[in-house]
């Protein structure tokens, strides 16, 4: 059967477009990351574990136990796939199971800002089904997904339009009732900035709907509204020894962050705050203390088979008192009980980096290295992108391809790191204050393509070390975005001369508050384009938002005058 002329030209165009796109793809041969933090250097003593248990930008942990296995999830915001999922049998060593939200239809985050997207998830298991409930900020609101196997497939979102707020929790009572608890606005006008409330609704898992008119406020403002507490949030409900406990975060996400607890004999009665709240905080510790862990809160607790209770929660490892680039990380502490009240960390105590292991645990098999100093390398020889990698926002057409035999290609797009769209970017989390990250890439053949390595915090705060082809040579340049569109701050012309080199190594060295950027051509020596550039602009205290730095690969088409050098 003959094709019409129209179909023929369409076919020719599609083949030309695909061929041209593949020809312009930028090939990366490997990416390597090494952490060198001094706090991790002394070897662990026998019977100890290391905090944080999962270093880097893994905030808002939620945990559940099924038999002898613990499952834990974290916020992902605009990164995709969404909601990282880990498993453990000993609470301290964790194996990545991938992500819960793996389809663009589940997240709808094509245009959101980096600190929008998927907020604080809660993970629970009930009667053979896993439930993950969360909020897609600026892209759909609150929803639930379910699965029989934690590794999926997970369902399409069950939308919860009745819920106005964030940080939802789902609780299955032993009388068959199901409750959703969340942060929301107070009844009436807020009395002050940061005045929020905790709401409880009944939920019908059969009809998959919130029961109309069942919502009520159970905490107004926080522990003591006369003190104007701010940002009561992150609620979790547990039933323990005939008490209903409500665990929340209070004080905002900065240094005043904390965990507080309430309890009641009935879900229909008032929740009473613990007189010794907060049960976890570092807010009163000296700001100039050595190796500070700050902003502790947003906790979830779980009971082991041996009867112990443990808490996972977020915290930050600061430098220069208020800066941190590694994001909010996941920590672990035992829970103590006093007068039937849980205490995660007694008042006045410093959060320790190393503690005694939980009792009666089986070692986690095939655990990933998630804390301490380590060296990590990806030659892109796997059939699927490793779980450590993230894309920025979701789309139906991914920006990368894995090459048979090793290698990853990025298809340059007319999208920069400063845009609210999906760029050609693949990154992994910065997990140390001191690190080296490097990649080897093919020198692009088209002068319109810039490709390299980035230290990325958000659209307005990042660095991009890149190269692009000139008529006879290669130009290497460093862009900096500091509350602005990216601007070139350093550049150099690299003469290939008689060299037959077709690839170049680009790297970033981190030294707490400084970043240095280097390149290496072929077998030549390492050369620095820029040394000791300001890393504090990538800290949350300057860049804002809720995420940590990602280090990764980026390629783009230079079509905007904003990027001309």
482 and 515 in contact (C-beta within 8 Å)? no
Question: Cα–Cα distance between 99 and 14 in angstroms, integer?
Answer: 33
Which is it for strands 26-35 and 408-410: parallel, antiparallel or unpaired? antiparallel
390 and 398 in contact (C-beta within 8 Å)? no
- In Å, what is the CA distance from 245 to each residue of 126, 260, 304? 18, 10, 18
HEC assignment per residue over 174-190: CCCCEEEEEEECCCCCC
What phi and psi, each to the nearest 5 degrees, are found at residue 408? -130, 135
CB atoms within 10 A of CB 32: 16
Q: Pick the catalytic residue: 37, 233, 300, 509?
A: 233
CB atoms within 10 A of CB 138: 15
Question: Cα–Cα distance between 234 and 278 in angstroms, integer?
Answer: 14
Which is it for strands 341-343 and 336-338: parallel, antiparallel or unpaired? antiparallel
- In Å, what is the CA distance from 453 to each residue of 56, 113, 209, 486? 19, 21, 46, 14
Judged by phi (left if over 0) then psi (alpha if -120 to 50, else beta), residue 381 lies in alpha
Coil/strand/helix, residue 14: helix
Instruction: Give bridge partners of residue 527 from the DSSP assignment.
Output: 519
Active site residue 471: no
446 and 24 in contact (C-beta within 8 Å)? yes
Active site residue 174: no
Q: Pick the catalytic residue: 25, 37, 60, 300?
A: 60
Please state the separation of Cα 282 from the chain's center in Å: 22
Structure-block tokens of residue 6: 């129209």
Place of tokens 């990933």: 368
Instruction: Give bridge partners of residue 436 from the DSSP assignment.
Output: 34, 509
What residues act catalytically?
Answer: 60, 233
């Amino acid at each position: 059967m003959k094709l019409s002329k129209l179909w023929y030209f369409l076919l020719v165009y599609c083949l030309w477009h695909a061929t041209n796109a593949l020809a312009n793809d930028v090939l990366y041969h490997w990416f390597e990351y090494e952490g060198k933090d001094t706090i991790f250097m002394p070897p662990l003593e026998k019977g100890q574990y290391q905090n944080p248990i999962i270093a880097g930008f893994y905030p808002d942990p939620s945990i559940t136990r099924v038999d002898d296995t613990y499952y834990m999830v974290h916020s992902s915001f605009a990164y995709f796939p969404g909601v990282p999922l880990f498993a453990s049998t000993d609470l301290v060593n964790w194996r990545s199971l991938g992500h819960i939200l793996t389809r663009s239809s589940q997240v709808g985050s094509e245009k959101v800002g980096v600190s929008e997207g998927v907020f604080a998830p809660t993970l629970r298991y009930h009667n053979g089904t896993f439930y993950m409930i969360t909020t897609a900020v600026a892209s759909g609101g609150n929803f639930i997904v379910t699965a029989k196997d934690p590794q999926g497939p997970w369902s399409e979102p069950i939308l919860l339009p009745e819920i106005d707020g964030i940080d939802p929790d789902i609780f299955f009572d032993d009388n068959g009732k199901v409750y959703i608890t969340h942060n929301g606005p107070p009844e009436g006008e807020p009395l002050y900035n940061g005045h929020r409330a905790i709401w409880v609704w009944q939920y019908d898992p059969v009809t998959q709907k919130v029961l109309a008119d069942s919502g009520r406020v159970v905490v107004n403002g926080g522990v003591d509204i006369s003190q104007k507490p701010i940002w009561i949030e992150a609620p979790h409900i547990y039933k323990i020894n005939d008490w209903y406990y409500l665990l929340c975060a209070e004080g905002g996400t900065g240094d005043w962050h904390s965990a507080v607890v309430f309890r009641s004999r009935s879900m229909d009665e008032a929740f009473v705050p613990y007189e010794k709240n907060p049960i976890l905080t570092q807010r009163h510790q000296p700001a100039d203390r050595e190796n500070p862990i700050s902003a502790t809160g947003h906790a979830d607790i779980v009971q082991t088979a041996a009867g112990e209770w443990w808490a996972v929660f977020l915290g930050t490892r600061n430098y220069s008192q208020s800066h941190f680039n590694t994001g909010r990380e996941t920590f672990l502490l035992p829970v103590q009980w006093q007068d039937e009240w849980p205490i995660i960390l007694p008042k006045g105590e410093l959060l320790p980096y190393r503690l005694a292991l939980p009792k009666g645990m089986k070692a986690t098999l095939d655990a990933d290295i998630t804390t301490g100093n380590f060296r990590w390398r990806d030659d892109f020889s796997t059939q699927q992108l490793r779980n450590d990698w993230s894309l920025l926002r979701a789309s139906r057409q991914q920006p990368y391809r894995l090459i048979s035999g090793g290698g990853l290609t990025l298809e340059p797009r007319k999208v920069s790191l400063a845009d609210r769209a999906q760029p050609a970017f693949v990154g992994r989390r910065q997990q140390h204050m001191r690190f080296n990250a490097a990649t080897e890439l093919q020198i692009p053949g088209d002068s319109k393509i810039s490709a390299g390595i980035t230290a990325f915090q958000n659209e307005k705060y990042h660095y991009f070390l890149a190269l692009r082809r000139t008529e006879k040579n290669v130009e290497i340049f460093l862009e900096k975005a500091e509350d602005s569109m990216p601007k070139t701050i350093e550049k150099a012309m690299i003469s290939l001369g008689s060299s037959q080199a077709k690839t170049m190594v680009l790297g970033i060295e981190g030294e707490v508050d400084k970043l240095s950027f280097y390149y290496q051509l072929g077998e030549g020596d390492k050369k620095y384009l820029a040394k000791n550039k300001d890393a504090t602009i990538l800290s949350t205290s300057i860049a804002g938002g809720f995420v940590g730095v990602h280090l990764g690969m980026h390629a783009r088409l230079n079509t905007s005058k904003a990027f001309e050098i």
